[in-house]
Amino acid sequence: MTSEADDQIICIIGAGYVGLVTAARLAEAGREVRVVEVDADRRAAVAVGLSPIFEPGLDELLSAVVASGRLRAVETMKEGVAGAGIVIVAVGTPPTHDGEADLSQVRLAVDQALAEVAPGAVIAIKSTVPPETTRALGRDSTRQDVTFVMFPEFLREGSALEDLRHPSRVVVGGEDVAAVRRVAALLGGPDTTRLLCDSVSAELIKYGSNAFLATKISFINEMAQLCELTGADIEKVADGMGLDPRIGRSFLGAGLGWGGSCFPKDVRALETSAGYHGQSFWLLKAAIEVNSQQRRRFTAKLLRGLGGSLEGRRIAILGLAFKPFTDDLRQAPALEVVRQLEDLGAQIVATDPVALDRARSLLPRATLVADPYEAVTGADAVGLVTEWPVYRELDWGRAIGLMRGRLVVDGRNCLDGTDVTEGGGVYVSMGRRTRGLPPQAPGSTAEGVYSSTVPPVPLG
């Protein structure tokens, strides 16, 4: 056990999407940071200032703070917590098969830290954990001279550094006010909103925030279905709803629904945790069901657009990452969509600007190519799954020309469709009218197909 705890020295356990970005930001802000990472490859990369994950701006920052000596990657907990005043736990909390959060990594990291940490240190839980976990860790701890707080993260992948440099709020929960204040001082500036509370409330602020945003997305996806049945335009509807400051336009983006490392596991974990307390969280059950339906709806549009059979059809999938500006494929909608299409007999050619390496082992039957034009060459249809800017800026006339078919299904409503229709293609999206079909097509009107039924689109 080392000498006095010094809050200038911070130890972060876990160099993942959250731990590594947090470590780099704290080092940038002048703290001396040690990252304890069990994965030898990740540790080796961080030790030389290379980021093992794709996150805008992280490579540059990491190489700077490692070169300055303010951030070091270490193997042992002893090295990591030596003299540290605050130890941040950012290890994984993957879902168990029944949806509960698996806390084994958190418990192991905490036990190892408690064996070495300096008297007076604070252990701040940044991993997303079910209600009452932080208090239980404190209760079960062998060290009365160490306190625990919940320090939830709200960063979004793809804009994580920005979110940490300018946090919209800092939330810290715990039963020891002094410890809570010490951790709350780590992020943000004098004008940053800080909410200090008890640990259980902080745990539920985290889950509640993710679950509410996920529910908001599922709501707009249900509205999108109704738009398809009534001929309305979901983007207009979302714009209109979003004008109400009580609603807001953000996270009213209809499409393939939510994925990623957080929403799917946190929504299920919250619903499961409520169940353990005897509560049926109906809203979340519905949000989960609507979300999985969105992938099936997207697949159905391709199936119908190609005449009801995908046997021997070649489909180009644009985008694999769960959202743009990340290489993270965890719970990415693309994985489900590709599997559904392959199970229906389609041959998939997929592309993504940064996530191809991670996709190779996850999509063994698909052909993965870096160039989107190569991906669409000879394709009977294109499915746009991740709204990377490169796909918005595609020369759709050229793309349609390279395809065998001319059906483009936009699962993120990120194209306005004119580029596709002017390129001779048929544009299908989520919650909006199909465009570009010949006037005589069944149910079509001047503006395009009136109802949600996507009729078979004749090949080019």
How near is the Cβ of 328 to ligand UDX at its closest, in Å? 8
List own/partner pairs for 19-23 with CB under 8 A and 24 or more apart: 19/88, 19/90, 19/91, 19/126, 20/46, 20/51, 20/52, 20/53, 20/55, 20/58, 20/62, 21/55, 21/58, 21/155, 21/160, 21/161, 21/164, 22/88, 22/90, 22/126, 22/153, 22/155, 22/164, 23/71
Residues 224-253 contacting ligand UDX, CB under 6 A: 251-253
Q: Is 14 in the site for ligand UDX (CB under 6 A)?
A: yes
Q: For residue 195, what are the β-bridge partners?
A: 171
Q: Which of 169, 176, 119 is nearest to 142 (CA)?
A: 119
Among 153, 271, 336, 380, binds ligand UDX (CB under 6 A): 153
Between 13 and 409, CB nearer to ligand UDX: 13
205 binds ligand UDX (CB under 6 A): no
**Contact between 149 and 122 (Cβ < 8 Å):** yes
Cβ 250 to ligand UDX, closest distance in Å?
A: 7
User: Binding marks (x or -) toward ligand UDX, 297..336, rule CB under 6 A?
Assistant: -------------------------xx-------------
In DSSP terms, which residues pair with 289 in a beta bridge?
A: none
Sole window of 7-15, 130-138, 222-230, 308-316 interacting with ligand UDX (rule: CB under 6 A): 7-15
Residue 89 vs 315, nearer CB to ligand UDX: 89
CA quadruple 12, 14, 20, 24: dihedral, nearest 10: 20
Residues binding ligand UDX: what is the number (CB under 6 A)?
43
Residue 352 found at the interface with ligand UDX (CB under 6 A) = no
Q: Least Å distance between CB 333 and ligand UDX?
A: 7
Query: Which of the stretches 35-43, 131-139, 277-285, 366-374 binds ligand UDX when contact is defined by CB under 6 A?
Result: 35-43
Could you give the C-alpha distances from 70 to 16, 146, 256, in angstroms and in order? 18, 24, 41
The answer to whether the CB of 449 falls within 8 A of the CB of 434 is yes
How far, in Å, CA of 421 to CA of 427, rounded?
6
15 binds ligand UDX (CB under 6 A): yes
Asked whether the CA dihedral 290, 362, 108, 55 is positive or negative, the reply is negative
**Contact status: 156 vs ligand UDX (CB under 6 A):** yes
Closer of 126 and 297 to ligand UDX (Cβ): 126
Q: Residue 242 in contact with residue 251, Cβ under 8 Å?
A: no
Q: How far is residue 460's CA from residue 28's CA, in Å, rounded to a whole number?
A: 54
Residue nearest ligand UDX, CB atom distance = 16
Q: How far is the CB of 382 from ligand UDX (least distance, A)?
A: 19
Nearest approach, Cβ of 19 to ligand UDX (angstroms)?
5
Closest to ligand UDX by CB, 92 vs 423, is 92
Nearest approach, Cβ of residue 230 and ligand UDX (Å): 21
The whole-angstrom separation of Cα 105 and Cα 261 is: 16
Beta bridge pairs of residue 171? 195
By CB under 6 A, is residue 217 in contact with ligand UDX? yes
CA-closest candidate to residue 91, choices 123, 117, 121, 128: 128
Q: Which of residues 83-142 bind ligand UDX (CB under 6 A)?
A: 90-93, 105, 108-109, 126-128
φ, ψ of residue 384 to 5 degrees: the values are -95, 120
Helix intervals (H) in 243-361: 263-276, 282-305, 333-343, 356-360
Identify whether the C-beta of residue 89 lies closer than 8 Å to the C-beta of residue 153: no
- Asked whether position 255 contacts ligand UDX by CB under 6 A, the answer is yes
Structure tokens at 142: 């062998």
Footprint on residues 383-442 left by ligand UDX (CB under 6 A): none
Would you say 16 or 431 has its CB closer to ligand UDX? 16
Q: Is 262 a catalytic residue?
A: yes
Nearer to ligand UDX, 28 or 37 (CB): 37
Residue 319 Cβ vs ligand UDX, minimum distance, rounded to whole Å: 10
- Which of 2, 6, 29, 38 contacts ligand UDX by CB under 6 A? 38
Catalytic residue among 11, 227, 262, 414: 262
- Interface residue with ligand UDX among 5, 10, 17, 437 (CB under 6 A) is 17
For residue 389, the surrounding DSSP H or E stretch is helix 389-392
Catalytic residue ranges:
262
Q: Under the rule (CB under 6 A), what is the footprint of ligand UDX?
A: 13-19, 36-39, 42, 90-93, 105, 108-109, 126-128, 153-157, 210, 213, 217, 251-253, 255, 257-263, 322-323
